[in-house]
Amino acid sequence: MTDPILTVDGITKSYTAEGPPAVDQVSFQVADGEILAVLGPSGCGKTTMLRCIAGFERLSAGSVEMRDRILANRHTHVPAERRGIGLVFQDYALFPHLSVLKNVMFGLRYHTDLPDKEGRARKALQMVGLQGYADRTPHHLSGGQQQRVALARALAPKPELLLLDEPFSNLDALLRQTTRQEVRTLLKDNGLSAVLVTHDQEEALSFADRVAVMRRGRIEQVGTPEEVYYQPRTLFVAQFLGRTNLLMSDADGTEADTPIGRLPLNRPASGRVLVSLRPEHLTLAAPQNVPDPDGCTPGTVIDRAFKGHDITYRVACDSSEYLVHTSNRFSFQPGDDVYIRPLEPGVVLESSPAELNTSA
């Protein structure tokens, strides 16, 4: 990693003396200009972690550093307004009676010595493409535009780091997609570093350069979107990031016997292991197109979900069901006999097969 802008080292936050901490020994770094998404289900501690970095919560343990400056540890707690961090929340928290420009200038309230606050605020509005809206009040803007005003307010003080807490979740589906694309482009064009917290897998995968998957106060895996999606380390990550096929398998080195035949593995393993295969890593073929069924498993199509550019099939093989995601060039109907064939190595999960029923 190039020089990290943010180093979070073993931070822990307990609200109560009993029970597990809300944030439990979380460590990660954010590189200069990087967007990191922290992805996890409701209640896993994402907001608490962000509030610890922002300075709204005191740490129970660990440290937060920005560049070489300690923001928080056992002895130090730099107040939020002196951390040089910009914040954008789910509810834009704009003042309805103030103009867009005044709302953005509010972001500069601690910068008492700044000579031209209005000029700075207008530049921030320009960055988010709202220079023509300075005199309007927020309720004359769409949800996406209001969120961009909130972003301009956070950007006006020129923070070194932006923290984004579910910033797109109040927007409807289409606006959410376009707004997050615009915000990503804006962050990238300006070389800004950001931490986004979200419970939305698609948002994390499409918005971030790296994704940290969080569960029960801990980070379970950090990697590029492709790594966490295609090479999940645990059952939780495999299931939280999308649909997957879980195969109880017997591994002997780089291969395993699985319910759908012998399969190469992404890493060597031995004994009883749980193997994950995404639906798009399986394909189907009609029996007449499979002269040599070696490496294929016979099955029957149970149902299909047509999604325009692709189709997801549910296929029964013996007593198990598998999901198979194919392009719409291969079309089968419920009841069709098919062969199911893996296209990629199986991904060995660190989770024990016994966790299969207790992974929530």
Ligand X SMILES: Nc1ncnc2c1ncn2[C@@H]1O[C@H](COP(=O)(O)OP(=O)(O)OP(=O)(O)O)[C@@H](O)[C@H]1O
Shortest gap between Cβ of 48 and ligand X (angstroms)? 3
Give me the least distance between CB of 53 and ligand X, in Å please. Answer: 12
Rule CB under 6 A: choose which of 10, 43, 271, 287 binds ligand X: 43
Q: Does 46 help bind ligand X (rule: CB under 6 A)? A: yes
The rounded distance, in Å, linking the Cα atoms of 110 and 114 is 9
Contacting residue, 2, 42, 112, 358, with ligand X by CB under 6 A: 42
- List binders of ligand X among 186-245 (CB under 6 A): 199
Closest CB 218 distance from ligand X, rounded Å: 12
Q: Does 54 bind ligand X (CB under 6 A)?
A: no
Considering only residues 1 to 20 of the shown chain, the ones binding ligand X according to CB under 6 A are 15
Distance CA 133, CA 152 (A): 12
Among 6, 47, 183, 193, binds ligand X (CB under 6 A): 47
**Cα 85 to Cα 162: distance, rounded to the nearest angstrom:** 6
CB of 45 to ligand X, least distance (A): 4
- Minimum CB distance to ligand X smaller for 43 or for 271: 43
Piece of 41-49, 123-131, 222-230, 316-324 that binds ligand X (CB under 6 A): 41-49
Contacting range for ligand X; rule: CB under 6 A; set: 36-44, 122-130, 171-179, 234-242? 36-44
75-82 own/partner pairs: CB under 8 Å, 24+ apart: 79/55, 80/54, 80/55, 80/56, 81/55, 81/110, 82/55, 82/110
Nearer to ligand X, 40 or 279 (CB): 40
Binding segment toward ligand X, per CB under 6 A, in 3-11, 42-50, 68-76, 328-336: 42-50
Q: Which two tokens stand for residue 357?
A: 């029923």
Q: How far is the CB of 169 from ligand X (least distance, A)?
A: 9
For residue 15, give both structure tokens: 């609200």
Nearer Cβ to ligand X (18/68): 18
Closest CA to 220 of 196, 238, 246: 238
Stretch that binds ligand X, among 44-52, 183-191, 240-248, 343-351 (CB under 6 A): 44-52
Binding residue for ligand X (CB under 6 A) from 5, 8, 11, 22? 22
Residue 125 as a binder of ligand X (CB under 6 A): the answer is no
Quote the tokens at residue 84: 């040089």
Interacting residue with ligand X among 8, 26, 44, 141 (CB under 6 A): 44
Compute the least distance from the CB of residue 88 to ligand X, in Å: 15
Count, residues near ligand X per rule CB under 6 A: 11
Residue span binding ligand X (CB under 6 A) among the ranges 40-48, 95-103, 151-159, 341-349: 40-48
From residue 323, give the alpha-carbon distance in Å to each of 81, 200, 231, 302, 338: 50, 22, 18, 10, 13
- The reply to whether 45 sits near ligand X by the rule CB under 6 A is yes
CA distances from 234 to 202, 207, 238, 261, 350 (A): 19, 22, 6, 22, 5
Indicate whether 90 belongs to the interface with ligand X (CB under 6 A). no
Candidate residues 28, 30, 34, 40; the one interacting with ligand X per rule CB under 6 A: 40
Torsion-angle region of 62 (φ positive above 0: left; ψ -120 to 50: alpha; else: beta): left
Site residues for ligand X per CB under 6 A: 15, 22, 40, 42-48, 199
